[in-house]
Amino acid sequence: MKTIGLLTSGGDAPGMNACIAAAVEAAEKRGIRVRGIIAGFRGLLETNSIPIGTELAGLARRGGSFLGTSRNGNLEKELAEQGIASAMSRCCVDGLVVLGGGGSLGAAARIAADGAPVVGVPCTIDNDVHGTDYCLGFDSAVNKALRAADEILDTAESLSERIFIIETLGGKTGHIAVAAAYAAGADAVFVHEIQPDIEGAARKIKTKMDAGGTHGLVFLCENLGTSEIAAKLESIAGRRVRITILGHTQRGGNPTYLDRALAREFGELAVETLVTGDYGKMVAYKAGDVTTIHLSEAVNKTKELDIAKYKAVNGG
């Protein structure tokens, strides 16, 4: 293998640039050139690639992906019509490392099934890729939520008798919300995977505040109806509710130590896996070890919520 292509797809995540830098370094040590595919699978279709080298190592501290990303949409159909081998040849690459979330890794699995030399790297703040305990970007996103909670609670302790809601990202999964709620010692967390018990949470918070507690703290995942939940909590608990929506602040910013360290290990192992011809795999973090699994194991499956942490926050 003479040249490896690096492609970032789907949403961006802190740690992607660090993974790119690690993969480039690992490839160059083996005498292998690297090309970056601009704007994900769209760039592969449009023959939009650039040579990249270790001079980009300084990008490791930055969030997102300097290569840019694109949503798949009809790209897979176009790629199938064009032919993956032809697209890779025109981009002057012999193999691909695809960095992205579940949708992007699903696309990687399908082109791998067509015989393309592909290795995947799980990168999504949602942390919802099956088969890996951890996806790049998750720790950075949770830490953003925790910093927000800390700053809000500074206010809560002096401006008492209020319930504070923090809405996190996460799509249709509650991994960020549960992790942040557990670490922050929140009173409740609401997610898509489990029917929210809003009345129970409101009564729990009211009892605590009636007994002298200064505030209530609730985390919830986006797209659950934050305003409606806030109104219900306010009505039952009899306290004012204030909402903070974190939004895309969780996607940006410098990656944490954990994201940088695992990005390096993921990038190095992805290159090693590709170079040794062990195609159709995804690097993964399982039970404290960085390893590989078949891409087919990671796609079209639901990653379970951490129920123990969910129950620790909500009770039950």
What's the CA dihedral at 23, 260, 299, 289 to 10 degrees?
90
Q: What is the DSSP letter of 161?
A: S
Other residues' Cβ atoms within 10 Å of the Cβ of residue 33: 18
State the Cα–Cα distance between residues 65 and 294, nearest whole angstrom: 25
49-52 β-sheet, strand order: 49-52, 33-37, 3-8, 95-100, 118-122, 281-286, 289-294
The partner residues of 37 in beta bridges, in order of sequence, read: 7, 49
CA 88 to chain CA centroid, Å, is 26
State the Cα–Cα distance between residues 80 and 61, nearest whole angstrom: 36
What pLDDT is recorded for position 153? 87
What pLDDT is recorded for position 272? 97
What pLDDT is recorded for position 206? 95
Q: Which of 25, 297, 16 is nearest to 135 (CA)?
A: 16
Other residues' Cβ atoms within 10 Å of the Cβ of residue 222: 18
Q: Which of 311, 105, 310, 316 is nearest to 221 (CA)?
A: 310
Each of the 316 residues of the chain gets a pLDDT tens digit; together they read: 899 999 998 777 889 999 999 999 999 999 999 999 999 888 888 899 999 987 776 787 888 788 888 766 666 677 777 788 888 999 999 999 999 998 889 989 988 988 899 999 999 999 999 999 999 999 999 999 999 999 988 887 777 789 999 999 998 999 999 999 999 999 999 999 999 999 999 999 999 999 988 899 999 999 999 999 999 999 999 999 999 999 888 887 889 999 999 999 999 999 999 999 999 999 999 989 999 999 999 988 889 999 999 999 998 6
State the Cα–Cα distance between residues 315 and 307, nearest whole angstrom: 11
What pLDDT is recorded for position 72? 60
Burial 61-99 (b: 16+ CB within 10 A, else e): ebbbbbbbbbebeebbeebeeeebeebbeebebbbbbbb
Q: Are 264 and 22 in contact (CB under 8 A)?
A: yes
Catalytic residue among 126, 128, 139, 259: 126
| Domains (range + CATH), the chain | 3-137+255-298 (3.40.50.450), 139-251 (3.40.50.460)
| Distance separating the N- and C-terminal Cα atoms of the chain | 54
Task: For residue 150, indicate whether it is catalytic.
Answer: no
